[in-house]
Structure 1
Amino acid sequence: MSGGRGRSGRRGGSGSPCRDDQAQGERRGGVHDRWDSHGAQSPPGRVPGASADRRTPPWFHPGDSSAPRQGRPRTAGPAELPTGATASAAYQTVSGADLPGTTTTPDGEKTDYTYDSAGNTKSVAVTGTGGGNQTFDYNPATPPCGGFEGQRCKATTEMSSTKSVSIAFTYDAKGNLTKVTPPAPLGVTTYTYDDLGRPSTVRDGRGVTVIYEYDERDRVVKVDSSHYLAVSYAYDGNGNLVQRSGNTGVVGYAFDPLNRETVRTLQDGSQTRLTYRAAGNVGTRTAEKWSDHSQFTSLTVDGTTCSGQYGSTDRSERIRLGDTFFRNGPPGLSAKTTGGVDMSFNREPGGTLNSMPTGGKSYYYLTDAIGSVVALADDTGAKVNTYSYSPRGVTRAATTEQVPQPYRFAGGYRDPTGLYHYEARYYDPNIGRFNSPDPSGQEKSPYLYAEDDPVNRIDPSGLLSFGDVTGMGDWAMTGCSVVAAGYAGATTAAYS
């Protein structure tokens, strides 16, 4: 239910709605939201565009004198969590920014980070359960992999004491990502762009090509693939998606004068009508209760109610939901426990996922150019999970999952209702819209996700979208760069 880009979340193996059975989100509908008198809007939270590396550890609260700040000692902790466990973090100043140096989670897992002089992550070393190492190489002043100085050229993961694998990135003169070369036997993924810098074709390691067409407002109007049927999209003058046409038929969407979806008409003619609270929040989707701080205090699904508990005053730092407990570190959610089963999440300083230790084994995330998880590999390099999405993040039938994990489209945490959580808000991939207005007022449209351009833009905070993700430009420089891309079939899975 939470955890955009890993801020909070849970995962369980049973069918209990208090556990994160991802399949439940695919089949639910017709349940109801309950919002408090304050409209259940998330507070603005962190400043969009600022490096995620600068986050204050989630076990500190505003006014805590031990929280790291510019010009203060950068050692935080040990701090005692509500569960009685302790955690700590030490920071270092690089290129004028306070970046994580060493963090220790409540379960004793230690992560050490190193950086180059520009603040790019050079290595991440994890000791403890499921530990591992990653190193990164970047373009110098004369770029060997094309593009510009500072763009990532290679990511190397130590799979075991005797085996390492690398993924190489190549760019064009404009800094656009043109090729991703994963370790053999996986195939190369290539990208081409139109004159406006928009992705026009993507060819994955299996030879599957996806072609994109846009209108004059940079909106995707058609996605065509050599192995998937074409899908077309139509919009109104305000940028709202009003029709989706494909091999399964036509789906229509109607909106009110405030650009809020009011009626959804499916292929068989059946309709779903949406209503809204005074603050603009959707009132007919999930049975949730909210606190005065816009936090879920309980979630009712299929007649079962799960209670939630938080470690801060926004939605990002959960410490419990139902029988699942969460542990957070500076980069994001570090671990969760459900029914005595632990699952950890190793990350770069910016919060980008790189591996998931669970059950005594480590699994590695493979992502595409916008950060969507497209595959999970074990420590031998063998594929265990694959994920396929529509352009707006709907999970496709081609998805296969042997090892359950919650992260999906654009690095977001997918909750049991089928919504994605991106820190300040929840996103409905079926229509490409958030279920509440932008609490910061920074977006042109209060409901649209990524300015209605999910192929080229992302909104990890739910407050402000930004582009240049396929070129790994600004995104890479702020620490949110792609950990691993180019898995065979990955790109088509993400965009078909």
Structure 2
Amino acid sequence: MRRRAVIVGVVFASLITVGSVTPAQAAVAPAVVVRMDEGDGPSTGDLEGSVWAPGDTADDGLPAATPVSPAAPWEPLEGGRFGEPLIGGTDEAPAEDAANQPAIYDNEPTESAVNPAADATDPTQAPAVAGRSMAARGAPVPPERNITSPGLGSLPYFQFQDFSLSDHTVARVNLGNGNLVVTANDESLSGPGIQLRADRFYNGLSLNEGSFGGGWSSSMITNDVGLYINPDTLSATFTGPSGFTAFFKKENGAYTPPPGFNAALTKDATTGADLGIYTITYNKSGEKLRFTPTGYLISDKDRNNQGVTYVYDTAGHIVSATQDSGRSLTVDYTNDANQYVGRMTDSAGRVTTFIRDANRRLQTVTAADGTQTTYTYDNSDRLTSITVPGSPNNTTTSFDYDSTNRVTKVNQQSTSPTWGARADVVTDFDYSFSPTRTTNVTDADDNVAVYNLDNQGRVTSTVDGRGDTRAQDWNANSDIQTTTSAFASGTAGGQTTIAYDSLGNATSVAMPTGAGTAAQYARGTTDCPGAATGTAFQVQCSSDASGSKKAFDYDTNGNPTKTTDVTGGGTGTVTQQYTYSAVGAAGTCAPFNGLICTATNGNGAVTTYSYDSHGNLTQIAQPAPLGAVTNSYDALGRVTQTIDGNGYTTIYSYDVDDRLLKTQFNNGDQTFNAYYPSGAKQYVWDKTIHKISYEYDTLGHTTKQNTYNDSGQPVDVVTYKYTDNGNLTEYTDSQGLVKYGYDAANNTTSITEPGGTCTTGTTAPAAGSGCIKLDYYPGGVEKSRTFPGGAKQVTAIDRSSRTTDITATPAGSSTPVVQIKYDYTAVPGSTAPADDRTTVQHQTAVKQEGITANAVTSYAYDSRNHLTAATEMEGATQSAKWSYQYDNAGNRTKYTRSGTSGASTSTANVTYNAANEITATSQDTTNWGYDAAGNQTQSGTTGVTSSYNNRGAVMRIGGQNIASYGAGNTTTLQRGNNTFLTTEFGVATQTVGTNATVAYTRTSDGNAASRRTSAGSTYYVTDRLGSVVGLFDTAGVYKGGYSYTPYGEARRTATTAEATSNALRYIGGLWDPTANLYKLGARYYDPNLGRFTQADPSGQEANPYAYAGCNPINGKDSTGLISEACGVAIAGEIFSIVGIEAALFVGGAASIASGGALTPLAAIGLGAGFGGL
């Protein structure tokens, strides 16, 4: 268990989601957004914002609130702007470049003007003494193209080793050139379109002093970001927020972008208000950066012309940035000759201050909450340490360099309240240029990873600590065109191939076995009929290996408006439709462009959205009989109150860092959150139940979880220990200590249960040893799992790393007790690439509980990849069949079971209302019931009733009471006479009555491995979806298993005590035998109906109740929040069973978010890099 992303705060899901065309939730739920710091600096929504203020004139050198005198053209400072990476163009290369070494120069301090009166304690003043390597800064001017160190900043094709230092700071080491890139966020303000963020960047190889001093640049300050137009206008250089630089050359009257920079530079109108304005437009996202004729950034807009406004003073300083929502940020500068950024103040009065040391280097940043981040430097002005607020104590990360300023060591303090001080965590970097260019990274556990690079610093192959090799090949535009997995390395046909058109659009991806997905960017063909809409960079049609095709339509701004099934012989259904707001349009839903006004599903049901004058989503009018959802906001766009469809009111309050502090529910119940200075959660306290507190080490790993009783005493204590590299080594709860071992590639190789022992090597664990051993294929796919006594599960995979065979054998025998085979070809057993599919086509139960040996099930799918039939054959005889039909919104309208399906032969017809709620089935015994928030209150087939509290959590199902912690169902505490303890892994213990406790041993990534009781352990055999299909005891004796129908109903269950008492079954979910439902994270799932009993609380599913996108053979939803498709992720493009539809609509519809509060899916979709490179 390792942290892999930076948690940047709590925001609120806006209830409108990409791809969701029906009401998906009845209340605004808090959602943690994870910022993945990728791409070339801030993600879309990071630097974002600017609008030229009214009163500007095109020939002004600067945009301003009132007209000002024309400024001097954008000219370089004396000494130039040093150290910016150049994309495209040519530079005079130093001698060492001939050997493919980076051009890096030591800094030489220069004299500068001084201000003896400067006061370092005053944020508006700073001592002006010797600087990084520049003279007195003087008036700000946009940066000039003056390149000495290629490879600065963050671009999509750079590869980094990341170190998450806090909830606002990430340090990254570029593996191509050793450049240290530090990204720190000082402020973030939301609104429609591009968000306003104030980010700082440090580049270790840059000699630029930056707007903050000490090499720190800003994502929006003039000296750091801008466009330099060469005096002859035949070339231009764009300097991006993270420090990269892109060189445009004019050819045939148009500017040509450099390879790898997927954007266009144009000069706007030759007359009128836009005279001489330059615009950079990113191809995929449509984001537009506009510059004055002299290169000052004046606006950053999305494709709907919504974003942020930058206003300058007469000296060229940005003095304010205003998001279209009205939220703004003002900037104050030091009043000396250097004019550094001294203070930033947002529209809510939150102030961030910046203080420099005696050498004009940024030393201290004080946030609005009073916490401080401090920096130190060496005599060469290189950043040597960062000290950030801790959990609870401050923590320091330090950096060492070689003589060419490349990072050689990152040293992180390691201590925690739980375990005290430990040795520092050290990561070493070693660079070589002979005989090939390589970077070796030695992690804190002394595992070495080797990165091989080309002469542009792009990683071409890696060798991990086990010696496994992965490779990738780049085209001229720095797009990955082939990848070779470690498993397939050195084998014929082991590559995944991606093709692009002349515009850089990905047109197809083909897996090593042949299956793939294709996209077209033009219309008018048989495969893609109709007229094209949108831009040349937006997908018009897509197809998958099975021949299913979709067409996509867009409005004039490029917002997706319609998805149509155009498969030959398909439905021709319009499955999704959207309309958008437009400024000045009659009846528009918002005073902004591009916010979703209506979403219509395939059945024609319409959900309508309304917004306030700041672009906050204020109401969701859902199809009847659901009630409307209304939201209220504060001045920062944070949700302060939600009234759900039932009329329940929930009130939220926050701290100065936008973290959720208190939630008050309709009945007056409250939950409280407290945070450490680092932003990590210190405790959560449900006043009606109890408090749960947390401790962490300085690397951000959870080290302790305390659950308290009503007397305030800890009653359930869970502790965690880690290797220096962050791998979990010890987990301890009330049922004992579980230990984990790892190989040199950080794969878990052993799990030792409480009181057990594990030997080293490949010898099978002894009976009763409590030891599980794991082995892996090259690349980290699990190959085998060996249980006590020598029982074993072996997984076979194909060249596309897909599971093809699962075989389990008991102790002392090679005869399988469980064996399931999977075939992905249209013709069973075919090896022809043309027959390969991305979905499972056939499944053979060589040996499986209750199924005739070697029975083969074939699967059929419709053109929307919904499962329509599963037909089981015993030789030439059909033994069982399941058939399914769906309406255009994905509701299952008919299902038929026949043969030995595990249930009586039957056919059921199902009807729905406009809100996708069941109104009747042909097997009903009573009426169906739902409340106004969409919660199922009564099953018409079983008569079981359910009730819910004002938090949206299940309170009672049938005759058993259920208690959950906080809002929703995720953390269940009590169910009938069962008490649960939930940790970061999931359910850890289940206590029945007063003494019988079941503990679950889990892998280091949280998957269940065994069930432990006082009578001993039972070990799980699982299929490709994670469903438990077999059980072994502590001696390796087989104790029976399970088989399931396609949607997870129990088909056969062994009669052994081990099988009947085990609660983790289908996809590893918690089975409730009383309710006949599975508890899957946030919701309860009914496998008989193939749907959840509550609407999706995350708002991310196209149908709020449907399970796994109506394709349970190739996907699952173990969290109750989002379907997990079995797909292939290549070069940032995800091609899965849902095709590329989700990727198309993420980012287009994401701008509907109120106050910038995107759903998690939308937030991830927008994080592809500044401008969507």
TM-score between both structures, scaled by the size of structure 2: 0.32
1:346-380 Cα offsets, whole Å, 9 max, x none, are: 11122211111224221111111101112222223
Q: How does 1:18-97 map to 2 (within 5 A)?
A: 43=29, 63=675, 64-65=681-682, 67=694, 71-72=698-699, 74=701, 76-77=703-704, 79-82=706-709, 84-92=714-722
Counterpart AA for 2:910:
Y
The correspondence for 1:220, drawn from 853, 859, 867, is: 867
Q: How much does 1:393 deviate?
A: 1.0
Cα distance change on mapping 1:100 and 1:392 into 2, 3 Å? same
Cα distance change on mapping 1:371 and 1:330 into 2, 3 Å? same
The correspondence for 1:152, drawn from 774, 782, 791, is: 782
The correspondence for 1:455, drawn from 1102, 1106, 1113, is: 1113
Cα separation, 1, equivalents of 2:1129 and 2:1013: 30
Q: Is the 8 A contact 2:1002 2:1008 kept in 1?
A: yes
SS in 2 for 1:67: strand
Q: Is the 8 A contact 1:40 1:281 kept in 2?
A: no
1:179-228 Cα offsets, whole Å, 9 max, x none, are: 22322221543211033221111222332222212222222222111253
Counterpart AA for 1:277:
D
SS in 1 for 2:750: strand
SS in 1 for 2:718: strand
Q: How much does 1:455 deviate?
A: 0.6
The correspondence for 1:229, drawn from 864, 880, 903, is: 880
Cα distance change on mapping 1:448 and 1:309 into 2, 3 Å? closer
Residue 895 (structure 2) pairs with residue 244 (structure 1): yes
1:310-350 Cα offsets, whole Å, 9 max, x none, are: 45544233333343322334312222222322222111122
Residue 1017 (structure 2) pairs with residue 362 (structure 1): yes
Q: How does 1:62-461 map to 2 (within 5 A)?
A: 63=675, 64-65=681-682, 67=694, 71-72=698-699, 74=701, 76-77=703-704, 79-82=706-709, 84-92=714-722, 99-107=727-735, 109-116=736-743, 119-128=746-755, 132-140=770-778, 149-157=779-787, 159=788, 163-183=789-809, 184-186=814-816, 188-194=819-825, 195-203=836-844, 204-205=846-847, 206-227=853-874, 228-247=879-898, 248-266=905-923, 270=924, 272-285=926-939, 286-301=944-959, 306=961, 308-339=962-993, 340-397=995-1052, 399-403=1054-1058, 404-415=1061-1072, 416-461=1074-1119
Cα distance change on mapping 1:322 and 1:242 into 2, 3 Å? closer
Q: Show the counterpart of 2:8.
A: none
Uncovered stretches (5+) of structure 2, i.e. residues with no partner: 1-24, 37-163, 165-671, 676-680, 683-692, 757-767, 826-835, 848-852, 899-904, 1131-1173
Uncovered stretches (5+) of structure 1, i.e. residues with no partner: 1-38, 55-59, 141-148, 474-496
Cα separation, 2, equivalents of 1:398 and 1:84: 39
Q: Is the 8 A contact 1:264 1:271 kept in 2?
A: no
Cα distance change on mapping 1:351 and 1:182 into 2, 3 Å? same
SS in 2 for 1:294: coil
Counterpart AA for 2:715:
A
Counterpart AA for 1:291:
N
Q: Is the 8 A contact 2:790 2:1036 kept in 1?
A: no
Q: Show the counterpart of 1:28.
A: none
Cα distance change on mapping 1:61 and 1:209 into 2, 3 Å? farther
Q: How much does 1:462 deviate?
A: 0.9
Cα distance change on mapping 1:74 and 1:229 into 2, 3 Å? closer
Cα separation, 2, equivalents of 1:62 and 1:396: 47
Cα separation, 1, equivalents of 2:1054 and 2:32: 33
Cα distance change on mapping 1:272 and 1:323 into 2, 3 Å? closer
Cα separation, 1, equivalents of 2:738 and 2:950: 35
1:54-95 Cα offsets, whole Å, 9 max, x none, are: 9xxxxx966343735685464633735428534232243787
1:15-34 Cα offsets, whole Å, 9 max, x none, are: xxxxxxxxxxxxxxxxxxxx
Q: How much does 1:237 deviate?
A: 2.0
Q: Is the 8 A contact 2:1011 2:1018 kept in 1?
A: yes
Q: How much does 1:246 deviate?
A: 3.2
Task: Tell me the C-alpha RMSD between the 2 structures.
Answer: 3.3
Cα distance change on mapping 1:325 and 1:69 into 2, 3 Å? same
Q: How much does 1:110 deviate?
A: 0.5
- Asked which structure has the greater RCO (Cα within 8 Å, sep 6+), the reply is 1
Cα separation, 2, equivalents of 1:384 and 1:41: 45
SS in 1 for 2:1048: coil
1:391-419 Cα offsets, whole Å, 9 max, x none, are: 01111255534231211211111222111
Counterpart AA for 2:775:
D
Counterpart AA for 1:284:
Q
Counterpart AA for 2:1029:
V
Q: How much does 1:150 deviate?
A: 2.0
Q: Which has the larger radius of gyration?
A: 2
Q: How much does 1:461 deviate?
A: 0.9
Q: Is the 8 A contact 1:422 1:462 kept in 2?
A: yes
Cα separation, 2, equivalents of 1:210 and 1:394: 16
Q: Show the counterpart of 1:20.
A: none
Cα separation, 1, equivalents of 2:956 and 2:1068: 25
Q: Is the 8 A contact 1:458 1:465 kept in 2?
A: yes
Cα separation, 1, equivalents of 2:881 and 2:956: 40
Counterpart AA for 2:730:
T
Identity of aligned residues (%): 27
Q: Is the 8 A contact 2:895 2:907 kept in 1?
A: yes
Counterpart AA for 2:1004:
P
Cα distance change on mapping 1:209 and 1:42 into 2, 3 Å? farther
1:151-191 Cα offsets, whole Å, 9 max, x none, are: 1122222x1xxx32332222111222112232222154321
Q: Is the 8 A contact 2:791 2:1032 kept in 1?
A: no
Cα separation, 2, equivalents of 1:101 and 1:47: 28
Cα separation, 1, equivalents of 2:705 and 2:1124: 35
Counterpart AA for 1:199:
V
Cα separation, 1, equivalents of 2:951 and 2:746: 34
Cα distance change on mapping 1:76 and 1:397 into 2, 3 Å? closer
Q: Is the 8 A contact 1:262 1:274 kept in 2?
A: yes
Q: Is the 8 A contact 2:970 2:1083 kept in 1?
A: no
